[in-house]
């Protein structure tokens, strides 16, 4: 039995913070294991009971689900794989929690020891069928999936620490109440781990820092952390009084704690990730040598996390990989990520030595598997989705526009300008351009805020080419308020440079820009030099460093989010409507059944590679 019982869920700990949270529970208590008898143990592993010295533990994992209960569409529902001859091919129609459930349940068959874990962003930035109900549907689905444990990600904090407490422990929404008559939201059956999220005053973790899974005396500890930079990519208001600590220091600290408790087999669940050299899910990122085919923050973290940790399950970058990166002792260690949106799951075999109580690292094997839709959908998940869709239908099905073709949002790490991002930037510029709305001259959109493509094929009864409110919500689910601010030309150039330097040096965050703003990005250079300053133009004219420009952006960017510190230096801010309202208004104004909107060209950022 795992440490936490599903039938008698322990209330998880949420510490008091500057935001006024109350302490609502305590750490999970360790429950006694059901050990084998001496005769059973002596019979050995070959008897099928798994009570010999060596035990294979199946670790199933995934990350960055983002409330994608229904099958994701367009590029969000595709993967790339490498064929045997090394050429890439596209796999269409993957993902969807109905199919993820079936794949996980099939994968568990015949495995006495199986634990399922996640690396954060299970909720947040979710499609309307989950987001409209503050992600209660997704937590209900994860409970049915028998998720054992998850780290928090940055998006678990989208609605603040108070709401995360409710997600963990249950209870109806404080302002909207219970969404279904006679039903109270029960919260997550699994523990959310947040070892490096602490109260600024007391230094104590916001949530449980670790979790110990146990069966027949086999014990594996899980330490959960989110990226240290979480405070830079979520709303500051909801995380007042919280500190996000260094990932390496935190994991190493709790590895020692687990070791002192006799838990020597340890897995880190880390919401931070890497960028493999290829976007193919089956790319060998250990070629030509261990870990040589992957870059990004996870590499440095993996090289410095204590050798006591046997494997790292990661996320955040929405990439797929199963790599080997040496630990500080030079010993191979598996590092995995399963892309995003439930399109993949990772199956890792951890061979546990009962005598040493540790994982035999040389026997660890890991691979990503596609969540195809060729299997039968899980009936309980189909019923869950239908129940919540029926509740959302009056809002979700309203038509807001028409498109002539798919407007894509490619997930590949090397695609910097995206049709969907361009469309959103154009909508934001139009909404904030009138003199009484802010007088904006250009618009900047953070790439992480563009959550999905628009697909011409109908998802329901609306008809091909019709964009519903629910589909628009999936693209822009944060409901950020729009602003128009003053920036100098010099600050604009610095903004572009901060896309590829400073906090974004290892993982560029390329802003999506409105159609009247152009520049050249030279990826053969490094850091800020990648922006060719002389190429930056507005309406065809070179940017004047001394001139003041009115720039439209959402409040997240205006607050310096995503590492764009210079944007906090803005002046004369005017707040407008929400990004979603501007997006739907633009779709309605610029399209009809007779004249649908075409995908915008991607000719604003010239990229040199």
The domain that contains 288 carries what CATH number? 3.60.21.10
Identify the DSSP state of 182: T
- Which pLDDT does position 52 carry in this prediction? 82
pLDDT in tens, 2-53: 344 444 455 565 654 443 443 333 323 333 333 344 444 443 444 334 568 9
For the CA atoms of the chain, what is the radius of gyration? Answer: 24
Burial pattern 59-74, b for ≥16 Cβ within 10 A else e, equals: bbbbbbbbbbbbbbbb
How far apart are alpha carbons 184 and 173 in whole angstroms?
Answer: 9
Mark whether 343 and 415 lie in a shared domain.
Answer: no
Nearest to residue 220, comparing CAs of 161, 266, 160, 271?
266
Which of 370, 388, 413 is the last residue before a domain boundary? 370
Mark whether 108 and 58 lie in a shared domain.
Answer: yes
Other CB atoms within 10 Å distance of the CB of residue 289? 9
Four-CA torsion 375, 380, 385, 387, nearest 10 degrees: 150
In a domain, 110, yes or no: yes
How far apart are alpha carbons 314 and 151 in whole angstroms?
Answer: 10
How far apart are alpha carbons 272 and 318 in whole angstroms?
Answer: 10
- Which pLDDT does position 13 carry in this prediction? 59
Place of tokens 């493509």: 453
For every residue of 322-367, which 3-state class applies, written as one string? Answer: EEECCCCCCCCCEEEEECCCCCEEEEEEEEEECCCCEECHHHCEEE
Q: Does the model's pTM come out above 0.75?
A: yes
Omega within 30 of 0 (cis) for the link into 288? yes
How far apart are alpha carbons 331 and 243 in whole angstroms?
Answer: 32
For every residue of 239-290, which 3-state class applies, written as one string? Answer: HCCEEECCHHHHHHHHHHHHHHCCCCCEEEEEECCCEECCCCCCCCCCCCCC
Domain that holds residue 464: 397-608
- Which pLDDT does position 9 carry in this prediction? 57
In a domain, 148, yes or no: yes
- Which pLDDT does position 258 carry in this prediction? 98
Mark whether 319 and 445 lie in a shared domain.
Answer: no
- Which pLDDT does position 237 carry in this prediction? 84
> Residues for the chain: how many in total?
609
Mark whether 295 and 354 lie in a shared domain.
Answer: yes
Mark whether 192 and 228 lie in a shared domain.
Answer: yes
In a domain, 376, yes or no: no
In a domain, 276, yes or no: yes
- Which pLDDT does position 461 carry in this prediction? 84
How far apart are alpha carbons 325 and 305 in whole angstroms?
Answer: 11
Other CB atoms within 10 Å distance of the CB of residue 174? 10
Burial pattern 357-375, b for ≥16 Cβ within 10 A else e, equals: ebbebeebebebbbbbbee
Angle between helices 297-304 and 247-260 (to 10 degrees): 30
- Which pLDDT does position 25 carry in this prediction? 33
- Which pLDDT does position 14 carry in this prediction? 63
Q: How many domains does one find in the chain?
A: 2
In a domain, 309, yes or no: yes
Using a 10 angstrom Cβ sphere, with 0-12 exposed, 13-18 middle and 19 or more buried, the burial of residue 55 is: buried
**CATH code of the domain containing 590:** 3.90.780.10
In a domain, 599, yes or no: yes
- Which pLDDT does position 233 carry in this prediction? 86
- Which pLDDT does position 74 carry in this prediction? 87
CB 344 within 8 A of CB 371: yes
The CA distances from residue 464 to 76, 116, 406, 415, 601, in Å, are: 18, 38, 11, 27, 22
How far apart are alpha carbons 445 and 422 in whole angstroms?
Answer: 8
How far apart are alpha carbons 540 and 517 in whole angstroms?
Answer: 8
pLDDT in tens, 371-403: 999 999 999 999 999 999 999 999 999 999 999
Backbone φ and ψ of 168, nearest 5°: -70, -45
Backbone φ and ψ of 433, nearest 5°: -75, -35
With H, G, I as helix, E, B as strand and everything else as coil, classify residue 313: strand
- Which pLDDT does position 75 carry in this prediction? 87
In a domain, 17, yes or no: no
Using a 10 angstrom Cβ sphere, with 0-12 exposed, 13-18 middle and 19 or more buried, the burial of residue 111 is: middle
Mark whether 120 and 268 lie in a shared domain.
Answer: yes
With H, G, I as helix, E, B as strand and everything else as coil, classify residue 464: coil
Mark whether 441 and 568 lie in a shared domain.
Answer: yes
- Which pLDDT does position 160 carry in this prediction? 94
Mark whether 120 and 210 lie in a shared domain.
Answer: yes
In a domain, 300, yes or no: yes
CB 311 within 8 A of CB 333: yes
Mark whether 335 and 414 lie in a shared domain.
Answer: no
Kind plus residue range of the DSSP H or E element containing 295: strand 294-295
Residue ranges, the chain, pLDDT below 70 = 1-51
Mark whether 460 and 497 lie in a shared domain.
Answer: yes
Token digits of residue 595: 């004249």
Mark whether 356 and 407 lie in a shared domain.
Answer: no
CB 373 within 8 A of CB 365: no
Mark whether 333 and 457 lie in a shared domain.
Answer: no
Give me the half-sphere count of Cα atoms (radius 13 Å) on the Cβ side of residue 185: 26
How far apart are alpha carbons 528 and 409 in whole angstroms?
Answer: 25
- Which pLDDT does position 241 carry in this prediction? 96
Token digits of residue 499: 């896309």
How far apart are alpha carbons 497 and 430 in whole angstroms?
Answer: 25
How far apart are alpha carbons 479 and 486 in whole angstroms?
Answer: 22
């Amino acid at each position: 039995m795992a440490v936490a019982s599903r039938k008698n869920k322990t209330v998880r700990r949420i510490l008091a913070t500057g935001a006024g949270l109350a302490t609502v529970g305590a750490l999970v208590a360790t429950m006694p294991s059901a050990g084998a008898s001496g005769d059973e143990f002596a019979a050995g592993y070959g008897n099928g009971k798994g009570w010999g010295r060596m035990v294979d533990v199946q670790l199933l994992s995934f990350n960055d689900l983002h409330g994608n209960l229904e099958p994701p569409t367009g590029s969000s529902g595709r993967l790339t794989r490498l064929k045997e001859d090394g050429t890439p091919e596209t796999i269409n129609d993957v993902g969807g929690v109905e199919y993820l459930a079936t794949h996980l349940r099939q994968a568990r068959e015949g495995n006495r020891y199986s634990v399922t874990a996640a690396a954060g962003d299970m909720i947040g930035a979710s499609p309307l069928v989950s987001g409209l109900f503050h992600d209660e549907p997704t937590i209900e689905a994860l409970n049915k999936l028998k998720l054992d444990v998850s780290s928090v990600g940055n998006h678990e904090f989208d609605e603040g620490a108070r709401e995360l407490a409710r997600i963990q422990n249950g209870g109806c929404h404080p302002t909207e109440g219970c969404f279904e008559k006679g039903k109270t939201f029960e919260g997550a059956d699994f523990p959310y781990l947040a070892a490096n999220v602490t109260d600024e005053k007391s230094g104590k973790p916001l949530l449980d820092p670790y979790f110990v899974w146990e069966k027949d005396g086999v014990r594996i500890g899980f330490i959960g952390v989110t990226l240290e930079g979480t405070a830079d990519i979520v709303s500051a208001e909801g995380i007042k009084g919280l500190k996000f600590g260094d990932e390496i220091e935190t994991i190493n600290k709790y590895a020692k704690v687990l070791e002192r408790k006799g838990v020597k087999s340890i897995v880190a669940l880390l919401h931070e990730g890497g960028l493999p050299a290829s976007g193919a899910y089956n790319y060998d990122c250990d070629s030509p040598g261990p870990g040589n085919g992957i870059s990004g923050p996870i590499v440095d973290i993996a090289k410095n996390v204590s050798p006591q940790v046997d494997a790292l399950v990661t996320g955040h970058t929405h990439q797929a990989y199963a790599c080997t990166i040496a630990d500080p002792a030079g010993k191979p260690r598996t590092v995995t990520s399963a892309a995003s949106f439930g399109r993949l799951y990772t199956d890792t075999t951890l061979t546990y030595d009962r005598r040493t109580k540790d994982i035999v690292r040389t026997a660890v094997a890991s691979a990503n598997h596609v969540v195809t839709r060729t299997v039968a959908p899980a009936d309980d998940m189909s019923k869950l989705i239908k129940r919540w869709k029926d509740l959302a239908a009056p809002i979700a099905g309203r038509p807001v526009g028409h498109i002539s073709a798919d407007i894509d949002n490619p997930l590949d790490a090397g695609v910097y300008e995206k049709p969907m991002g361009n469309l959103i930037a154009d909508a934001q510029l139009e909404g904030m351009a009138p003199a009484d709305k802010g007088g904006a001259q250009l618009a900047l959109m953070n790439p992480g805020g563009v959550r999905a493509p628009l697909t011409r094929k109908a998802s329901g009864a609306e008809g091909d080419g019709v964009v519903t409110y629910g589909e628009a919500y999936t693209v822009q689910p944060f409901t950020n308020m729009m602003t128009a601010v003053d920036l100098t030309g010099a600050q604009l150039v610095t903004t572009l440079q901060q896309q590829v330097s400073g906090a974004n040096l290892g993982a560029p965050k390329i802003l999506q820009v409105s159609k009247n703003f152009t520049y050249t990005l030279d990826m053969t250079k490094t850091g800020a030099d990648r922006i060719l300053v002389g190429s930056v133009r507005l309406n065809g004219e070179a940017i004047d460093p001394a001139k003041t420009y009115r720039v439209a952006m959402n409040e997240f960017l205006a607050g310096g989010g995503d590492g764009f510190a210079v944007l906090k230096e803005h002046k004369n801010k005017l707040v407008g409507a929400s990004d979603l309202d501007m997006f739907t208004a633009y779709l309605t104004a610029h399209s009809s059944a007779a004249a649908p909107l075409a995908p915008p060209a991607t000719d604003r950022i010239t990229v040199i590679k």
